[in-house]
């Protein structure tokens, strides 16, 4: 398997274990000492360079509102130091969000994320777009 194919598998394992599974401490095996969120409109951490503890804190806080969240990976595209992941996502809205107390509804979202890697195949950051208008429309429906 080529190095780029290995990176795709590594990224898929990271998503499954850390973001789907909620094992924030597993980030130690995947994430570089600094993880930079270069572009991510609507994300509270946009523009920040997180250390390992900050990264885990972001995972835990982001997952709190949707503890059963799951990514359904649509495509993986590896080129240079980047792997792009296109994805669908769903989660039950069990925790409060700013302006939106828990609704217990199944929320769906889609997005695309460019992850970057260092020479040791550790994640150094991302550039991301999510369809946050679609999420707002689902949260606001029949309030």
Nearer to a second copy, 4 or 26 (CB): 4
Residues 71-110 binding a second copy (CB under 8 A) are: 74-80, 82, 84, 86, 110
CA dihedral of 123, 128, 133, 139, whole degrees rounded to 10:
0
Q: How far is the CB of 132 from a second copy (least distance, A)?
A: 5
Encode 78-88: b = buried (16+ Cβ within 10 Å), e = exposed.
Answer: beeebbbbebe
15 part of the interface to a second copy, by CB under 8 A: no
* CB neighbour list of residue 9: distance below 8 Å, 6 or more residues apart: 1
131 part of the interface to a second copy, by CB under 8 A: yes
* CB neighbour list of residue 4: distance below 8 Å, 6 or more residues apart: 78, 79, 83
140 part of the interface to a second copy, by CB under 8 A: no
Nearer to a second copy, 14 or 27 (CB): 14
> Contact positions toward a second copy, by CB under 8 A?
4, 39, 41-42, 74-80, 82, 84, 86, 110-112, 114, 127, 129-134, 136
């Amino acid at each position: 398997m080529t190095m780029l194919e290995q990176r795709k598998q590594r990224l898929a394992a990271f998503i499954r274990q850390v973001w789907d599974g909620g094992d924030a401490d597993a980030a130690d095996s995947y994430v570089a000492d600094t993880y930079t969120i270069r572009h991510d409109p609507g994300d509270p951490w946009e523009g920040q360079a997180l250390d390992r503890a900050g990264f885990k804190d972001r995972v835990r806080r982001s997952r709190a509102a949707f503890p059963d969240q799951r990514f359904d990976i649509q495509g993986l595209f590896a080129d240079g130091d980047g792997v792009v992941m296109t994805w669908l996502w769903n989660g039950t809205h069990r925790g409060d969000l700013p302006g939106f107390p828990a609704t217990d509804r199944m929320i769906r979202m889609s997005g695309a994320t460019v992850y970057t890697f260092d020479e040791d195949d550790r994640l150094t950051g991302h550039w991301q777009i999510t369809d946050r208008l679609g999420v707002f429309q689902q949260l606001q429906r029949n309030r």
